[in-house]
Amino acid sequence: MTHDLRAETITISGHGGDEIEAYLGLPTDVDTCGSIVVIHHMPGYDEATKEIVRKFAANGYAALMPNLYHREAPGAAPDDAAATARASGGVPDERLVGDVAGAMAHLRSLATSNSKVASIGYCSGGRQSLLAGCRLPLDAVIDCYGAFTVVDSPAESPLRATAIVAEVGNLRGPVLGLFGADDQYPSPEQNQVLADALTAAGKDYHFRTFDGAAHAFFNVDRPSFRPEAALEGWREVFSFLERTVA
Amino acid sequence: MCTYQTANIELRASGKTLEGWVGMTSASVYFDHPVHFPAGHALMIDVRNQERGPSARVALELDPASARALAETILLTLDQVPDVLLAESGH
């Protein structure tokens, strides 16, 4: 593997046929490959998450990140777009699922596709990755510290996220969950509730909770970055993808 | 931690953005991940004019103690202003 890749901004058909912006990373040193939909965190479709897309491509996976805030803020800076989306109540679940479905369809249409597609999401995207896996034919799902999978977000907040634990019986592929022991949203107790639900539903899953890490330990440009957890987390991610969609 | 805790209010204000001064109409206050402030979480304030688009925004990311001090100072300042001036500045 040479880690050669091509990355570019494209337009895909998202929920309801809406044309939305997306960032695509393609390995250029493979004949066929698996794919992954990258779901950005609440701070948005930002440079750090585009770097994650390129990392997947460099490691042999076609990766595509839809801009979930494109409708509210086309062409805006990621932080302005995130603020606008937050103020208007966040991304509705139905729209998220439609956008991920559009990203999946685009990835499967690529000449290099082996037809297998995973999803990964960070922070709010962790919950959204799991949600997408419950409602779409994803071959594998990765949830990185997604909150509000087993409890609802605060009722008084206009930013709504409802628990999705009741839907895990619909998952079609295995689940990888990566969490920080010091995180409270989601807390280790909440992650155990999710694990119990996956066990009860007979699902293939693997959860890792890293000591000394809290939320967002993958974020290399934030104080929450924990190199040991992130390095081990990336090893888990690529091992999981090799098993499920490579 | 991703709290989702957010409060939205309407307001009358002017804010200086990259494009100059803009009349502002709303604000969001929340405690969540900052974009720039070097901490895992911060008290976030977005003062916005939604009609003027996403970039019509003045943003602050504050550590909790600073946010409280700022809020208290705002209230103290307002408490010291004569009623006649407050009436003149408002509708």
Domain boundary assignment for chain B: 6-89
Burial of A94 (0-12, 13-18, 19+ CB in 10 A): exposed
In chain A, domain spans: 5-244
pLDDT at A96 over 60: yes
Write b or e for each residue in A54-85: b if 16 or more Cβ atoms lie within 10 A of its Cβ, otherwise e. bbbbbbbbbbbbbbbbbbbbeebbbbbbbbbb
ipTM of the complex: 0.84
CB contact under 8 A, B2 and A185: yes
Half-sphere exposure of A102 (CA within 13 A, CB side): 26
Sorting pLDDT into bands at 50, 70 and 90, what band is A117? very high
DSSP, collapsed to helix, strand or coil, labels residue A175 as: strand
> Is domain A5-244 given the CATH code 3.60.20.10 in the classification?
no
Q: What pLDDT digit, counting tens, does each position of B48-74 carry?
A: 999 999 999 999 999 999 999 999 999
Whole-angstrom distance, CA of residue A180 vs CA of residue A222: 15
Predicted local confidence at residue A198, as pLDDT: 98
Write b or e for each residue in B18-53: b if 16 or more Cβ atoms lie within 10 A of its Cβ, otherwise e. eeeebebbbbbbbbbbbbebeebbbbbbbbbbeeeb
Nearest to A216 among B6, B26, B33 (CB): B33
Predicted local confidence at residue A184, as pLDDT: 92
pLDDT at A160 over 90: no
Arithmetic mean of pLDDT, A75-85: 95
Higher pLDDT, A117 or A155: A117
Taking the alpha carbons of B75, B81, B87, B91 in that order, is the dihedral positive or negative? negative
Whole-angstrom distance, CA of residue A39 vs CA of residue A131: 11
Predicted local confidence at residue A191, as pLDDT: 97
Q: Which residues of B touch A157 (CB under 8 A)?
A: 4-7
CB contact under 8 A, A81 and B54: yes
Distance from CA of B24 to the nearest CA of A (A): 14
pLDDT at B2 over 80: no
